[in-house]
Structure 1
Amino acid sequence: MVFAFVAGSSSVAAEALTTARFTRQVLSGRWFTLFACLLILSASGATYAFGIYSRELKSALGYDQRAVATLAFFKDLGSNVGVPAGLLSEVAPPWAVLAVGAAMNLAGYLMVYLSLAGRVPAPPPLWLMCAYVCAGANSQAFAGTGALVTCVRNFPEARGAVLGLLKGYVGLSSAILAQIYLALYGGGDARSLVLLIAWLPAAVSVVFLGTVRVMPPDHRRPKRSTHRGRGGGGDVFLCLLYISVALAAYILVMIVVQRQASFSRAAYSASAAGLLVLLFLPLAVVVRQEYRIKKELEDSLSHAPAVMVTVLEKSTVMPLAEPASTTTDTPLASSCVGSFLRHTFSPPAHGEDYSILQAVVSVDMLILFVAIACGAGGTLTAIDNMGQIGQALGYPSKSVDAFVSLISVWNYAGRVTAGYASEALLSRYRFPRPLALTLVLLASCTGHLLIAFGVPRALYVASVLVGFCFGAQWPLLYAVISELFGLRRYPTLYNLGAVASPLGAYVLNVRVAGRLYDAEAARQHGGGSLGAAGGDKACFGVECFRTSFLVITAATVGGALVSLVLVWRTRDFYRGDIYAKFRDGVVVESPVDGGPSAAEQRPSEEGSGGRVNGGQRDD
C-alpha cells in the first residue's frame, strides 16, 4: 500500500510538472504573443469613436465645425504619426513601447475627460485641447508599433494574414469599447465613454507588457510543418479569422438589437459578457496549437539521429554562409559625403533591407505617400464628419450613432478581407498588392459620391463603403512597405507610411470640408463668419458637403492613378516568390533583442546588387 501511495504521488507530481511545463510553453510562445496583441489592439482604437463624442465637444466647449475638424485632424495626426514610436522600437524592446503608449493614453484622454466634465479651473483653449487629443491618440501608434510590428517579425511568412487580423481588431475596437461602455455606464453620457477610453486601453497594455516580444519561428519542429503543414499555422490563422468574423457579426447584431429595443443595465452586461467570451476564445486556439507543436517535437525527438544530423547541418552550414552584401559598404577612397549620397540614392533590390533614408527618398515610398494621403485622407474626412453628415441630411440621431458603429464593423471587414484575400491572391496568382490598393481607392469613390449627391437612404451604403475601404487600405499599405523595404527598419518605416493619412485629412477635412461647411452654415444663418467659439450653428441640406466630397472624389481618383505607377514599378518583384527566404529558415529578429536581422542571417543568393526573388533595383 505504501508503494502504491508513493507511486501515485510520483504520478501526480509528474503530471503537475508536465502541466507546468506546458503552461510555460504556452505563455512563452509566439502564439500567445499573438493573442496578447489581439487583446491590446482590440482596445486601442479609441480614435475611431471620435464621431460619438465629437458632438459633446462641440456643445460643451462651444466649438464650431471648423474647430471640431481641427480636433479631428490632431486626433488623426496623433494616431498616425508614429515615428517616435518607431524610433523607440529600434532601440527598446516592445514592452517599453507599449508602456509609453499606455502612459500617453491615460494622460491624454484623462485630460479630455476632465475638460468635458468641467473638472478643470477654466475651459481649455482650442490649442490645448488639440494637444490633449493628439497625445491620447498617439498612444495608438505606440500600441500598434509594439504589437503589430512584433507579430509581423514573429510570422514573416504570413504577414498579410497577420496584418489583416490585427488591424481588423483595431477596426472593431471602437465598437468593442462602446459595448463595454454600455455595460459599465449604461450609455447616454459621452463623457463616461471618454473616461473608459482613458483607463481601459492603458490597463490592457500593462497586463501584457511581459508577454509581447520578438520570437522567430521555432525551427526545432519537423521540416514538413514549417510552412503550411499542421504546425505551420495556416489553420490557426483561419480559426482566428472565423472567431473574428463571429465577433464582428455578434457586435453587428447587438448594434441592431440595441437600436430597436430598450435595454436595461443587466441586458447590456449580458451582451458584454458574450463579447468578452468571443474576445478570449482565441486563447483556446493558441493552447491547441502549442499542444500540436509539443506533440510534433516529441515525435521528432523519437528520431534522434535524424534530428542530430539536421542540427549539425544547420550549425555548420549557416555560419559559413556569407551575409548578403548591402549598399552600406563604403569604398575607402571615397569622401564621407560622396559615400553617404551613394548609399542613400543607390538602394538595394526590392525585398532587401533598406535603411530609413533609402526608403524615405525612394520613389516607391513617395508614391505610397501620395496614394494614402488622397485615399485615407478622404475616407477619414467622411468618418470624422459622419455625425454632421447624418444631421445635415436629416437622419435621426439614433441612426447617426448606428452609422458610427457600423463604420467600425465594416472597417474591420475591410482590414481582414484585404489582409487575407491579398495574401491568398499573392500566393496563388502572384496578384500584386499595390494593384489591390488601387482597386480599394477606386471603390471608395462610390461612397464619396453617394454623400456628395445626398441620395435618399444611401448613407447606410456610403458608411459601409467608406468604412470598408478605409480599413482595407491599412493592411495593404503595411504589407507593401514590409515587402518592398524589408523588416530591419520596419518599425520606423511602418509609421512613416502612416504619416500620409493625417496630412491628407488636414487638407481635405480642415481646409476643404470644415471651411465649406462653416461657410454654408453662415449663409443659412444670415451671413457672417463663425469664430472658433461661435456656437453650434448647424448646417442642413445636401449643399453642406456636396462640393467637399466632389473634391475628395477627384483627389481619390488621382491617388489611384498614382498607385498604378507603383504597380508597374514592382511588377517583376511580385512575379517572384517573395517569401521564399522566410520559408528556408531565415530568422528575423529585432535589433534590440541582440539577434541577427534578416539581411545578416540570409546568405547571398545572386551576389551583391543582383535581383533577389524577383526584385529589381530602384534606380
Structure 2
Amino acid sequence: MGMIASPAGGAIYDTMGPRASVVLGSCLMAVGYSLIGLTTVAGGVLSPTLTVALAALGSLLAGYSSECLLDNTVCMACSESFPHNRGAVVGCAKAAVSTTNGLWPLVWDHIFDKPKGPGLPSYLACLAMSSFGIGLLTLPGIKVLPRGEPRQAFDCQDHSRLIVLGTLLAALAVYNVIVSFFLSEGSLEPSRAVGYSGIALQMAPLAILLTVRGSPSSEELQALKEEVSSPKREVRGVPFLVAAQGLDFWLLSLIQFALFGGALSVIQNMALIVESAGHSSAASLGVALFSLTSALSRVLVGILSDKYSKYLTRLHWLIFTVACGALGFLWMSFMDIHSIMVGALLLGVSIGCFFVIVVPLINEMYGSLAFGKIWLTQMASQSLSSMISFLLLPAFYEGAAGGKAICVGAGCFRTSFLLIAMLDIVALAAAVLLQLRNSDSKPLTRLLSH
C-alpha cells in the first residue's frame, strides 16, 4: 500500500534532491524494521490488533522507503549524472540491489535462524541498523551533477571499475545459488562462516573506492571552476501533467503492472510453489536462481544497451524483457520442479532487464524536469499489481486445496501462471506499440516542439 504514495517520493527528488530522499528513506526504513521487531518481542504484551497494526505500519514504511526513497533515488541520480553510460551505471546499482534478494535469506539461514542463531528480533535489528547506518555513510556520494552541463564519457579506468564491480556482484550471486542448492539438498548444514562469507562478498565492491583518483591537478581544477561558473543551460523536460496525458505513459504503466505483479507473486510464494511440486526444501534455491539471473542481466543488458544503442534501442530491450516474462510463466505452468527453476531463471532475466532499462528510458523519453514524479508515479502501479500475489494466487490455491491446509499438485498454481502469462502477452503487445510510436522521436521532442 505504501507504493500508492510513490509520487510523493518523486516530488521530494525533483524539488529537494537525492540527498534529502536518502536521509528520509534511511530513517523511515530503520523505523519500519524497528516496529516489526517490536511486535516480535512484545507480542505477548500487546493486543493482537495492535500487534498486526504495528507490523503492517512497519512493513509499509520499510517497503516504501526502500523503493521510493533509496533504490530508485540512487538510480535516477545516476541516470542524470552519466548520460553516456546510463544503462551501465544503473545496471550495476540495480544488480547490487538484486544480490540482496539472495544474501539476506542466506544470512537468516546461517547466522540468525534458531536454534543456533539469536532469532528474528536480532535479525530485524540488524536490518534496521544496516538501513540507517549505510544510508548515512553514502550521503557524500549521493548527488546529481549540475544539470545542463556537458558530461565526460567513461574512460578505460571507469569501464574497468564497472567490469570489476559486475564480476564481484556476479560472484556473490553465484555463491548464493551454490549455498542455497546444497542447503536444499541437505548436504550443507547452517554455518555462520557461510553467512559471514556472503556478507564479505557483498562488501567487497567497496574496494573499488581505493582505485579512484585523489584530488584533481591544478589544470583540471581550473577547468572545473570554469565549467561551474559558465552559464547553465535550461533544464529540459516534459511537465508531469503533460506526460500523464499521453498514451506512452500508460503503456509503460501497463508493462510494469504485468511484469512486477508476476515476479512478486513468484518470489512471495516460492515456498508454496515448490511445496506443491513435492520439493519443499528448494524454495531458497528458486529465490537464489531468480536473484542470480536478475543480477547478471542487469549488468550485461545495462552495458549492451549503452554500447549498441544504434542497433538495439532501450525499447527493443523492453520487448525482449516482456517476452522473457511471458515465457517464464509458460514454463512454470508445467509445475514440475525443473520447469519451475527454468521459469525462475527467465523471470529473473525479465525483471532484471526491466528495471535497468526503464529508468534511463523514462529519463530519455521525458527529460529531467519532472523525472522523479513521472517515474515514481509509474511505480504506483506496483501497488495494484500486488493484488496478483495476495488475491489471485490464493484464490486458485485454496480452490485446488479443497479445504485442506496444504495444496499438492500441478493444479495449485497452473491456472494462475497461465493467466499471468496471458497478461504478459498483452504487455508484450503494449511494448511493441510503444516501440512503434517512439521509433522516430521521443515524447521529449514531440511534446516540447508543440
Residue 171 (str. 1) matches residue 55 (str. 2): no
Going from structure 1 to structure 2, the CA distance change for 1:489 and 1:169 (only over 3 Å counts) comes to: same
Residue 495 (str. 1) matches residue 376 (str. 2): yes
Residue 573 (str. 1) matches residue 441 (str. 2): yes
Q: Residues 479-515 of structure 1: CA distance to partner in whole angstroms, max 9, x if unpaired? A: 2110100122222222112122231232x22332122
Aligned residue for 2:153, secondary structure, equals coil
Going from structure 1 to structure 2, the CA distance change for 1:384 and 1:178 (only over 3 Å counts) comes to: closer
Paired position in structure 2 for 1:592: none
| CA shift for structure 1 position 475 | 1.4
Aligned residue for 2:48, secondary structure, equals coil
Tell me, in whole angstroms, the C-alpha distance in 2 between the residues paired with 1:449 and 1:127: 38
Of the three residues 210, 232, 240, the one matched with 1:284 is 210
Q: Residues 18-53 of structure 1: CA distance to partner in whole angstroms, max 9, x if unpaired? A: xxxxxxxxxxxxxxxxxxxxxxxxxxxxxxxxxxxx
Aligned residue for 1:385, secondary structure, equals helix
Tell me, in whole angstroms, the C-alpha distance in 2 between the residues paired with 1:361 and 1:119: 51
Once the two structures are superposed, the pairs formed by residues 497-536 of structure 1 within 5 Å of their partners are: 497-506=378-387, 508-521=388-401, 523-525=402-404
Structure 1 contact 247–279 (Cα < 8 Å) conserved: no
Uncovered stretches (5+) of structure 2, i.e. residues with no partner = none
Tell me, in whole angstroms, the C-alpha distance in 1 between the residues paired with 2:141 and 2:307: 30
Paired position in structure 1 for 2:58: 132
Residue 475 (str. 1) matches residue 405 (str. 2): no
Tell me, in whole angstroms, the C-alpha distance in 1 between the residues paired with 2:330 and 2:413: 10
Of the three residues 409, 413, 416, the one matched with 2:299 is 416
Of the three residues 7, 10, 18, the one matched with 1:94 is 18
Tell me, in whole angstroms, the C-alpha distance in 2 between the residues paired with 1:218 and 1:176: 39
Going from structure 1 to structure 2, the CA distance change for 1:544 and 1:252 (only over 3 Å counts) comes to: closer
2:289 partner letter = L
Q: Once superposed, which parts of structure 1, at least 4 consecutive aligned residues long, lie more than 6 Å away?
A: none
| CA shift for structure 1 position 217 | 9.5
| CA shift for structure 1 position 145 | 3.9
Paired position in structure 2 for 1:122: 47
| CA shift for structure 1 position 462 | 1.6
Going from structure 1 to structure 2, the CA distance change for 1:88 and 1:484 (only over 3 Å counts) comes to: same
Q: What TM-score results when the alignment is normalised by the length of structure 2?
A: 0.86
Tell me, in whole angstroms, the C-alpha distance in 2 between the residues paired with 1:257 and 1:299: 56
| CA shift for structure 1 position 258 | 4.8
Residue 548 (str. 1) matches residue 429 (str. 2): no
Residue 160 (str. 1) matches residue 87 (str. 2): yes
Tell me, in whole angstroms, the C-alpha distance in 2 between the residues paired with 1:230 and 1:557: 41
Residue 208 (str. 1) matches residue 138 (str. 2): yes
Going from structure 1 to structure 2, the CA distance change for 1:218 and 1:261 (only over 3 Å counts) comes to: farther
Specify the structure having the higher radius of gyration (Cα). 1
Q: Residues 278-307 of structure 1: CA distance to partner in whole angstroms, max 9, x if unpaired? A: 24222234x2xx25x84xx45768xx9xx7
Tell me, in whole angstroms, the C-alpha distance in 2 between the residues paired with 1:147 and 1:416: 16
Going from structure 1 to structure 2, the CA distance change for 1:134 and 1:512 (only over 3 Å counts) comes to: same
Tell me, in whole angstroms, the C-alpha distance in 2 between the residues paired with 1:122 and 1:473: 42
Once the two structures are superposed, the pairs formed by residues 421-440 of structure 1 within 5 Å of their partners are: 421-426=304-309, 429-440=310-321
| CA shift for structure 1 position 270 | 5.0
Tell me, in whole angstroms, the C-alpha distance in 2 between the residues paired with 1:455 and 1:167: 30
Once the two structures are superposed, the pairs formed by residues 189-338 of structure 1 within 5 Å of their partners are: 189=119, 192-216=122-146, 226-230=152-156, 233-259=158-184, 261-263=187-189, 265-268=191-194, 270-272=196-198, 274-285=200-211, 287=212, 290-291=213-214, 294=216, 297=217, 319=231
Paired position in structure 2 for 1:355: 239
Paired position in structure 1 for 2:266: 382
| CA shift for structure 1 position 438 | 1.5
| CA shift for structure 1 position 109 | 2.1
Aligned Cα root-mean-square deviation (Å) = 3.3
Structure 1 contact 374–555 (Cα < 8 Å) conserved: yes
Going from structure 1 to structure 2, the CA distance change for 1:414 and 1:278 (only over 3 Å counts) comes to: same
Structure 2 contact 36–58 (Cα < 8 Å) conserved: yes
Tell me, in whole angstroms, the C-alpha distance in 2 between the residues paired with 1:228 and 1:273: 29
Further displaced range: 167-176 or 549-558: 167-176
Tell me, in whole angstroms, the C-alpha distance in 2 between the residues paired with 1:257 and 1:452: 26
Going from structure 1 to structure 2, the CA distance change for 1:129 and 1:93 (only over 3 Å counts) comes to: same
Structure 1 contact 105–137 (Cα < 8 Å) conserved: yes
| CA shift for structure 1 position 205 | 0.8
Tell me, in whole angstroms, the C-alpha distance in 1 between the residues paired with 2:72 and 2:220: 36
Tell me, in whole angstroms, the C-alpha distance in 2 between the residues paired with 1:371 and 1:559: 5
Paired position in structure 2 for 1:405: 288
Residue 463 (str. 1) matches residue 347 (str. 2): no
| CA shift for structure 1 position 389 | 0.8
Of the three residues 33, 36, 59, the one matched with 1:109 is 33
User: What is the number of equivalent residue pairs in this alignment?
Assistant: 442
Paired position in structure 1 for 2:75: 148
Aligned residue for 2:85, secondary structure, equals helix
Tell me, in whole angstroms, the C-alpha distance in 2 between the residues paired with 1:423 and 1:407: 24
Structure 1 contact 477–497 (Cα < 8 Å) conserved: no
Q: What TM-score results when the alignment is normalised by the length of structure 1?
A: 0.64
Structure 1 contact 85–145 (Cα < 8 Å) conserved: no
Going from structure 1 to structure 2, the CA distance change for 1:467 and 1:485 (only over 3 Å counts) comes to: same
| CA shift for structure 1 position 171 | 0.9
Further displaced range: 510-519 or 360-369: 510-519
Going from structure 1 to structure 2, the CA distance change for 1:384 and 1:353 (only over 3 Å counts) comes to: same
Uncovered stretches (5+) of structure 1, i.e. residues with no partner = 1-73, 327-351, 526-536, 575-610
Q: Residues 190-242 of structure 1: CA distance to partner in whole angstroms, max 9, x if unpaired? A: 554444333322221122334422334998xxx9x9325447x3443333323
Tell me, in whole angstroms, the C-alpha distance in 1 between the residues paired with 2:5 and 2:89: 22
Going from structure 1 to structure 2, the CA distance change for 1:554 and 1:127 (only over 3 Å counts) comes to: farther
| CA shift for structure 1 position 441 | 1.0
Going from structure 1 to structure 2, the CA distance change for 1:160 and 1:509 (only over 3 Å counts) comes to: same
| CA shift for structure 1 position 540 | 1.6
Structure 1 contact 82–496 (Cα < 8 Å) conserved: yes
Going from structure 1 to structure 2, the CA distance change for 1:266 and 1:149 (only over 3 Å counts) comes to: same
Going from structure 1 to structure 2, the CA distance change for 1:512 and 1:183 (only over 3 Å counts) comes to: closer
Structure 1 contact 371–563 (Cα < 8 Å) conserved: yes
